[in-house]
Amino acid sequence: MENLEQYEQAIADYEKALEVQPDSHEAWFSKGVAFSQLKLYQQAIVAYERAIEIKPDDKFTIINLGLVKYEMGKIDEAIEHWQAALQINNKLVEPQLAIGVALYNKGQTPEGLTIAEVALKLDKSWRYLQRLKEELWGDKLLADATKLLENLQIKALLSQTDNSKETAVEFEQPEDELDWETDEIDEQEWLHAAATNAIFDFLKDPEEDIYTLEDGKPFTY
């Protein structure tokens, strides 16, 4: 109940802000987020569409519009929005995974799995439902994502990724075994060693002293 009241208050605040600055993309976007969290999807669509009119290339608003459409059962429209976001940036993980989930649950299993695999290879943190919730995925999309993530092919992919990372950590060279040639040595430490180590005593020989006052103050320790 507390969260609902917070979103309602936020909407009221955004409406006041829009009275002063009606073309504020941020206010319209945030208003859309608040409406979507209240599951007032039609109002969320109006807010998101207005935000897109102001800033047509904002991929995040376009993605969120797709999330709302999906919860309303408008799957094909949601996919179109996510595809539009990918036209702006084809490396975005969220719309790729969302499309994969949508296709998988529409019965287009091979296509859905292929797209989802590409997305999860880019960033496997999208496998976690908590991450999806934080990105405003609604109940329907979360439920459908769970079905896809339970697919054996997807599980195998994620397992391979985990094992590869563990292997990389296992063979990582310990810091205390680093080759001295690649280890960084502090300049002052090196100068101190040169000044105090007997192996450098020959430098104290007057014949080796080519230093003059014009060169500046010599190093002493």
Count of structural domains within the chain: 2
pLDDT (tens digit per residue) in 73-85: 999 999 999 999 9
Task: Say whether both 140 and 219 belong to one domain.
Answer: no
Write the DSSP string, the chain: -HHHHHHHHHHHHHHHHHHH-TT-HHHHHHHHHHHHHTT-HHHHHHHHHHHHHH-TT-HHHHHHHHHHHHHTT-HHHHHHHHHHHHHH-TT-HHHHHHHHHHHHHTT-HHHHHHHHHHHHHH-GGGG-HHHHHHTT--HHHHHHHHHHHTSHHHHHHHHHHHHHHHHHHHTPPPGGG--TTTS---HHHHHHHHHH-GGGGGGGSGGG----GGG-PPP--
pLDDT confidence bin for 3, thresholds 50/70/90: confident
Task: Say whether both 190 and 147 belong to one domain.
Answer: no
Domain of 67, in residue numbers: 2-162
pLDDT confidence bin for 10, thresholds 50/70/90: very high
pTM above 0.85, yes or no: no
Weakest mean pLDDT among 3-7, 100-104, 111-115, 148-152: 3-7
Is position 148 within any domain?
yes
pLDDT at residue 173 in the model: 39
pLDDT at residue 160 in the model: 87
Is position 169 within any domain?
no
pLDDT at residue 165 in the model: 53
pLDDT (tens digit per residue) in 96-144: 999 999 999 999 999 999 999 999 999 999 999 999 999 999 999 999 9
Task: Say whether both 17 and 106 belong to one domain.
Answer: yes
For the segment 193-203, the average pLDDT, to the nearest whole number, is 46
Is position 172 within any domain?
no
pLDDT at 168 over 80: no
Cα–Cα nearest to 58, from 28, 18, 97: 28
pLDDT (tens digit per residue) in 34-69: 999 999 999 999 999 999 999 999 999 999 999 999
Most confident of 126-135, 170-179, 182-191, 197-206: 126-135
Is position 179 within any domain?
no
